[in-house]
Amino acid sequence: MGKEIERKYLVKGNQWKNLAQGVVYRQGYIPTVGNTTVRVRIVGNQGYLTIKGENIGETRSEFEYPIPVEDAEEMLNSLCDRPLIEKTRYKIPVGDLVWEVDEFAGENAGLIIAEVELQEENQQIELPEWIARQVTDPKYYNANLVKNPYSKW
């Protein structure tokens, strides 16, 4: 079974942008009951379907499968809640970790979040200088940014 352990942080400044090239992501969420999320995502010319379980601390189950981009496009257009999540992701290696910095567009424009996946919940990490503060909170989950976009905060 797949597990995801991650922490999320707000980002300060823009020096991080010089550390990696961004890739555009478009994603949406198929409505579900309870705390399970079903995400449809397009990255470049590849589609993905991801199922995530409920968080227990900073850990949750995660299963991701590649799907044809045409299927992902159809799911985004016909099955997903609005607004869709639009963002550019920058993958920045720092030491043994890879930080994923998401610069949001659309209804979440202005929000920049860095997340890092860990091996264990109590793992100690050194924060890059462009990290502001930790926000590992459901409010900042992409699935919740559909329901309550940053532009409405």
Q: What is the pLDDT of residues 106-143, one digit of tens each?
A: 999 999 999 999 999 999 999 999 999 999 988 999 99
**Other CB atoms closer than 10 Å to residue 3's CB: what's the count?**
11
Query: What is the pTM (predicted TM-score) of this model?
Result: 0.91
pLDDT of residue 57: 82
Q: What is the pLDDT of residues 50-74, one digit of tens each?
A: 999 988 888 889 999 999 999 999 9
Which residue in the block uniquely carries the two structure tokens 């099955």? 79
pLDDT of residue 129: 96
- Alpha carbons 81 and 146: distance in angstroms, whole number: 7
Q: Active-site residue 29, yes or no?
A: yes
Q: For residue 89, what are its two tokens?
A: 């992701």
Q: For residue 92, what are its two tokens?
A: 């920045």
Sign of CA dihedral 142, 147, 152, 153: negative
Residue span of the structural domain in which 24 resides: 3-152
SS (H, E, C) 83-108: CCEEEEEEEEEECCEEEEEEEECHHH
Q: Is 144 exposed, middle or buried (0-12, 13-18, 19+ CB in 10 A)?
A: middle
- Is the Cβ–Cβ distance between 89 and 111 less than 8 Å? no
- Alpha carbons 15 and 29: distance in angstroms, whole number: 31
The CATH number of residue 122's host domain is: 2.40.320.10
Q: What is the count of structural domains for the chain? A: 1
Is the per-residue pLDDT at 1 higher than 90?
no
Query: Which entry of 29, 48, 65, 90 is annotated as an active-site residue?
Result: 29
Give the C-alpha distances (Å, rounded to integers) separating 42 from 54, 87, 111, 138: 23, 11, 20, 23
- Is the Cβ–Cβ distance between 79 and 40 less than 8 Å? yes
